Structures are given as C-alpha cells and as structure tokens.
Chains A and B, each alone.
Chain A
Amino acid sequence: MQIQEVKHKEALTSNYAVAYAVKAADVDVIAVYPITPQTTIVEKLAEFVANGELNAELIHVESEHSALSAVVGASATGARVFTATSSQGLEYAHEILHIASALRLPIVMAVPARALSAPISIHGDYSDVMNARDTGWVIYIVASAQEAYDTIIQAYRLAESVYLPVMVAYDGFLMSHTVEPVELNDESEVRKFLPRQIRPYTLNPKRPVTMGPLASPDWYYEFKYQQVLALREAYKVAKEVDVAYGSKFGRSYGVVETYKIEDADYALVTYGGAAYGNARIAADRAREKGIAAGVIRVRLYRPFPTLEILKALEGVKAFAVVDRAIMFGSPAEGPLYKDIATAMYMNGIDKPAINIIHGIGQRTIYVEDLYKVYTMLKDRPGKEVVFMGVRI
C-alpha cells in the first residue's frame, strides 16, 4: 500500500488529539461526564458536534457509571461509541468495565490517567488505569499526542475485530494539557481504514436477542474463558493493526517501544509519556558517562506483550522497572514490575531487577533521578523496591 502524504498538521494537546481521532473515526454515540483532566476531550467533541463536523449523538449523563452504561447500551445496538474518564470517574464506572468486556462490546475509551483520592489529587499518575487492569479490557498506554491520535484509530479497528473494549491511557496533565505537533490523517482515509464491523448479535427489535442473562455455575466459567481467548487473540490482532496502520499512514509503534536497547547493559522499563521521555534523556547522559543504557516502553499493557519484553531484555545485565502506581501490600509494589517478574519466572529467567516507584500524584520525575537509577543498576544490581522522590 502507498504511504499517504501528510496533509494536515496541528498543535494539539493529547486530549484534543483524541477528539480529532474520534471525529475521524465517525463515531455515532458519545456519552460523558466531566472530570479533570479528561474534560477538554469532550469539550472539543461537543464543539465538533455543535458545528456539524461530526454527526454523533452526544449524551450528557449524570455520572461516569451512567456514561459507560449509556455507551454499553448504544454499542449493543451496533453503534460506534466513545467515552472518556479519569481517576474517581473510572473507579465509579468500574462495575460497568466488567460488563462492557464480558458483553464483548467494542467500546473505545480514553483515560488521561490521574491519581486516586484520598487525599484528593487532580494530578497525573497511573493508579486509576492500574485499578482497571483486570477488567478484561485491552489497555494501551501511549507516550505522545501523536501516538494518542494514532492509537484511538487503531483501537476502533482492534475493538471491532475481536469484540473487546479498548482503553487508551496517557499522562494526565503532562500530556492531556500540553501541546505537541500532531499530523492528522485524511478523514476519508481513516474511514476506509475503519469499515464498520458490527457484532453478530445486536439489540434489534426485528431480531430479538437477550444480552446479559443469568448464567448458572454450569455456564458462567465458559464465558469467562471466552474472554481469556479474546484477549490472547487481541494480542495478535493489535500487532497486525499497528502494521496495517503503519503501511497506510506511515506511523507505527509496535506493542513495545525501545530506545538504544540493542547494545544496552542496563535498561529502564516504563510506561507513559513523562517517564519515557526523561528516561531517554537519562539514558543518553548515562551513555556519555560510559554506562551502556537503554529504555523499554510498554505500549500495549493488556494483553501483556511478554515475548517482546523478554526479547528486549535479553541482552541486559540488570534492569529497573519504573512504575507510576502503587500496588499496596504486593510482594513488590509496582504493577509492571509484577508482570515482568511473572513473565521472567515463567520462562526460567533470573536477573537483577529493581522496582522504582515514582511520579505518584505527579511528583516530578527528574532526569537526574532516572540517571541515578542507571548508576544503581551498575553499582549495586539487586532486587529491591525503591520509593524514589518520597520524603522518608
């Protein structure tokens, strides 16, 4: 396929980039409740709808629980839908997260990630996304406004191929409210890339079906196992969609992104924009000081890209996982660390791996901090959890 020429470039926040992608995807129903730092996504979408640029039903609901419920209903009729939330809003919608994935509805939701109360914090970390980790959704964590735009479009194709809801998360404020240049695709090309794939069964008075019935112990487990299979399938399809998107629009990311990892002795593994951006600068600084440093970013978080992570870590002597959420009471408190540790254990690999917890409640992650992690890896590689940046 021929790579399409870039026709249009805008200065956009990640939130606005998401709104432009949703418009390009020609969604039918949007249901939302405002919460910081998500609000501006929907302000922009409301503007598109009001100006007649997007022919969608925009439903103002009374809570996030209702917002997700409304898109569940709309998606069940075969409509293409969108919603977005953050933090407590995602928590409030939590029970519907399970319903959306179990009903196998191709919903796409943006989550500019934000810390959880108490105490109240409107600032960014990944506590909300990590709490939604085990709900059967596909979860992307992206690192730039451009990637947010591209991934929302990919998300629709993935969601409608495997019939699973997809969450696209990114740093609250650090990305949701900061402006970057974003290349926008020709909308008619996006629509060609996203032919509507309606589920085999929809709510339709002409062909009545029952959705969400009671399942006795004889049946329930099989439906849960179906979700396991669907996520395994999603792993494969996510890679295919990324490749197809790349060949059409010229940008692709893989499920895992790496920086100078080929000859690295020491690596940082992380997710999201701020940590990845600073980790790359820290890696450059470490290399200036003679430490062979590299960075790995997990872009597809659920289903977990085990093979790609293990491959990226193959050559390193020691690595650190920088987590931006706390898994309270866990043997190691970082959620990504736990996933990687499990992946390594199951594949018989043992390596020094430090778990760094940082950026909680948007505590600044300095390049200097991450540089220090490289020196730690070199000087005292071990297995420990470090709560970096906290006053102890």
Chain B
Amino acid sequence: MTLPKATQLPIGAVIPEPGSTRKNITAGWRTLRPVINDERCIRCQLCWLYCPEGTIVEKRGVFKVGNRTYDVKYEINYDYCKGCGICANECPTKAIEMVPETT
C-alpha cells in the first residue's frame, strides 16, 4: 500500500470527515483474539459493557443453544477488536477464550 505524501495530507493533521475509522481497520496490532463459546454464554452483557472499543456486537433474533432459546447473541467484530482481553477477564462464566492470532 502507498500512503499519501506530506504535501497530499490535510494541513495540521486534521481528519476532515467524521467516521473515518469505518474505513480504517484498527485491529492490526492484535496478537490474541477473543472467541466466545456460545454454549457457556449466559447473555449477561458484561463483555458488551466492558469492551473499550465497542466491538462486541449484540445481535437480536431467535437463537437455539442446546435446549435453551435466547433472543440475543454476542459476537465480536474482528475488524476493530484490539485483543486486549478485557472481555475474557470480565466474563463471569469464562465463556471467552483468548486464542493466538494465526496469520
């Protein structure tokens, strides 16, 4: 990838439009990725609440897990998750495991 030259960038390091992080994937520095074990997840929402990047997605729908049915499911948006492990640390049922990134 070629990055813009000094003379091509807006002066004063201004980011001239809102929401530019939608274009810039910020997960490049992750070494461990959180993986949710849906079987163990009790839908307590703590991971969603604690994630500093807001990258845990709350999905609505009808989700059958074994003999239980839930109307919500938690997933991780790996485009922005930085792998900090806070979610895994906070999860009361240890449903989230941090596994090494493989390239």
B22 within 8 A of A: no
Among A105, A209, A229, residue most surrounded by chain B Cβ atoms (within 10 Å): A209
B9 within 8 A of A: yes
A208-B18, A209-B17 given as contacts; is B3 within 8 A of A102 (CB)? no
Main secondary structure of the interface of B (DSSP, over half): loop
Nearest to B14 among chain A residues (CB) is A201
Contact size range, B? 10 to 19
A104-B11, A163-B11, A200-B11 given as contacts; is B16 within 8 A of A229 (CB)? no
A222 touches B14 (CB 8 A): no
A1 within 8 A of B: no
A210-B15, A213-B15 given as contacts; is B6 within 8 A of A200 (CB)? no
Residue from the list B5, B12, B18, B20 in contact with A222, Cβ < 8 A: B5
Instruction: For the complex, give the distance between the alpha carbons of A200 and B11 in Å.
Output: 9
Interface size for A (C-beta < 8 A) is: 23
A102 touches B6 (CB 8 A): no
Instruction: For the complex, give the distance between the alpha carbons of A200 and B9 in Å.
Output: 13
A219 touches B10 (CB 8 A): no
B16 touches A201 (CB 8 A): yes
B102 within 8 A of A: no
Instruction: For the complex, give the distance between the alpha carbons of A104 and B14 in Å.
Output: 10
B14 touches A210 (CB 8 A): yes
Nearest to B10 among chain A residues (CB) is A201
B67 within 8 A of A: no
A201 touches B5 (CB 8 A): no
Inside 8 A of B10's CB, which chain A residues have their CB?
A: 200-201
B13 touches A213 (CB 8 A): yes
Inside 8 A of B16's CB, which chain A residues have their CB?
A: 201, 209
Instruction: For the complex, give the distance between the alpha carbons of A366 and B17 in Å.
Output: 59
B12 touches A104 (CB 8 A): yes
How far, in Å, is A23 (CB) from chain B's closest CB? 28
A117 within 8 A of B: no
A226 touches B6 (CB 8 A): yes
0 or 1 for each of B53-94: is its CB under 8 Å from A? (1 = yes): 000000000000000000000000000000000000000000
Nearest to A218 among chain B residues (CB) is B3
How far, in Å, is A201 (CB) from chain B's closest CB? 4
Instruction: For the complex, give the distance between the alpha carbons of A103 and B11 in Å.
Output: 8
B7 within 8 A of A: yes
How far, in Å, is A100 (CB) from chain B's closest CB? 10
A223 within 8 A of B: yes
Nearest to B8 among chain A residues (CB) is A222
By a beta-carbon cutoff of 8 Å, the part of chain A in contact with chain B is 102-105, 163, 199-201, 208-213, 215, 218-219, 222-223, 225-226, 229-230
By a beta-carbon cutoff of 8 Å, the part of chain B in contact with chain A is 3-7, 9-18, 20
A-B contacts, 24 listed (Cβ < 8 Å): A103-B12, A104-B12, A163-B11, A199-B11, A200-B10, A208-B17, A208-B18, A209-B14, A209-B15, A209-B16, A209-B17, A211-B12, A213-B13, A213-B15, A215-B13, A219-B9, A222-B4, A222-B6, A223-B9, A223-B13, A226-B9, A229-B6, A229-B7, A230-B11
